Structure 1
């Protein structure tokens, strides 16, 4: 039986002030307490690469939540596995680089 879910996408300006909007946007879509922090860490990592626009996505399937941040260009290694990577790995079940290497994703379980 397939799991049903939802997907939300939004483009944010590549500016530090947008991080607060990213956190609010994530909080308004899913009820997991770590989702805003995870969205923020992904956004900041892509922002650090110099992206002028960052595409954010949140997808749900059953109790799983996947958050993605993507920019227009491949991420330098420091931005795809920098200091925020430790936070993501501590909070998420899985993390990774998008197949085109322009973004990062994180998967977490639903809030119990």
Structure 2
């Protein structure tokens, strides 16, 4: 479990895909916003696959990607924004995945 995980702030992401192209773990995917209310496409991180390499945060031309201490990732994911349809559809899965990563990190740290 990495000490840092990437979080992409959906409200700041333009969907340019720079992070998708650089990610060595292929853990970033594009959420299509076409035909939905609110902003267009944006990128999202699969926290179960993120290796904490920092490349997306270093490369993002919009400063939408940030590296977050794993124990704080669930809170930061809950604050990342995004269009209301996405939050409604994906909220439980995104926050649950973040919380599971936090719990796994803390359990490993205690050993």
Q: For the superposition of Structure 1 and Structure 2, which TM-score range results when normalised by the shorter chain?
A: 0.3 to 0.5
- Higher helix proportion: 2
Q: What is the TM-score when the length of structure 1 is the normalising length?
A: 0.34
- Higher strand proportion: 1
Q: What is the TM-score when the length of structure 2 is the normalising length?
A: 0.34
Choose between structure 1 and 2 for higher RCO, CA contacts under 8 A separated by at least 6 residues: 2
